[in-house]
Structure 1
């Protein structure tokens, strides 16, 4: 299986999430200095904000972020970031789909 990224995501998002998961938290300035991330500090900041908007990161303030449960699930190939759906172990949807959820409202 593979990670199900959203169309809004870039390759740098995976690297940002991986580093923050490994280190428990990450500061934008420190992330931008990493060899594994080859984009500017302003680009790292934009990516972190986008990941936070989509609940994969949680901002702690002062440019520091930590990973969320959705972020962990995405890295573990248990979350479809495009459709905002958690997956069970075999890659199928677990629980109501996005369309079923909207019908319940």
Structure 2
């Protein structure tokens, strides 16, 4: 079971799943795949949000990869419901942490 924060939307799970399966992804490729059924612009916007919360890493040139934290979210090991972007960045050296209320996607 995955525990997502109020900041997350259904597209986020699809994006993370696509990138995990393909090892990396670009918004255009995701939109054209038929797996992530959203516009390239919307996927790009969500990827930036996922980077902000530490679930994706932007490598440049529109290429994104999933982080260990993103993998752990997909595996249901962490709860993103109480995350704040600045908290994620401040814990980057300590590794991901899980806490808080549980909301199912």
> Is TM > 0.5 for Structure 1 vs Structure 2?
yes
The root-mean-square deviation of aligned C-alpha atoms, in Å, is 1.6
Higher relative CO (Cα under 8 Å, sequence separation at least 6) belongs to 2
Q: Which runs of 5+ in 2 are unaligned?
A: 84-95, 101-105
User: CA offsets per residue over residues 56-91 of structure 1, 9 Å max, x none?
Assistant: 00000011100001100000000111124745xxxx
1:39 CA displacement = 1.1
User: How many Å separate the matches in 2 of 1:45 and 1:81?
Assistant: 20
Match of 2:93 in 1: none
TM-score w.r.t. length of structure 1: 0.77
Moved over 4 A (4+): none
User: CA offsets per residue over residues 12-53 of structure 1, 9 Å max, x none?
Assistant: 110110110111110111011121222111000000000000
TM-score w.r.t. length of structure 2: 0.77
* More strand per residue: 1
